[in-house]
């Protein structure tokens, strides 16, 4: 539980909870940052890049 609280603190410090644009990449990066917890403070900076398929024209 403490691990996740530290992860929440790291995500908050990086302002991942601000704004209203909840893209796949932003949500993924926020979740990985929370799960990585204390590893964020020793240099881990996880980033998720994802793209949804575009509809055909």
Whether 54 maps to a domain, the answer reads no
> Quick check: 57 pLDDT over 80?
no
Which of the two residues, 48 and 28, has the higher pLDDT score? 28
Whether 30 maps to a domain, the answer reads yes
Least confidently predicted of 6-15, 23-32, 38-47: 38-47
The domain of 13 spans 2-42
Q: Compute the distance between CA of residue 40 and CA of residue 33 in angstroms, rounded to an integer.
A: 7
Whether 55 maps to a domain, the answer reads no
> Quick check: 55 pLDDT over 80?
no
Q: What is the pTM of this model?
A: 0.66
Q: How many domains does the chain have?
A: 1
Which of the two residues, 40 and 11, has the higher pLDDT score? 11
Q: Compute the distance between CA of residue 33 and CA of residue 22 in angstroms, rounded to an integer.
A: 15
């Amino acid at each position: 539980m403490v691990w996740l609280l530290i992860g929440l603190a790291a995500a908050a410090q990086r302002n991942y909870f601000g704004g209203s644009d909840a893209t796949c990449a932003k949500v993924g990066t926020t979740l990985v940052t929370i799960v990585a917890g204390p590893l964020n403070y020793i240099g881990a900076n996880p980033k998720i890049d994802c793209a949804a398929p575009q509809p055909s024209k």
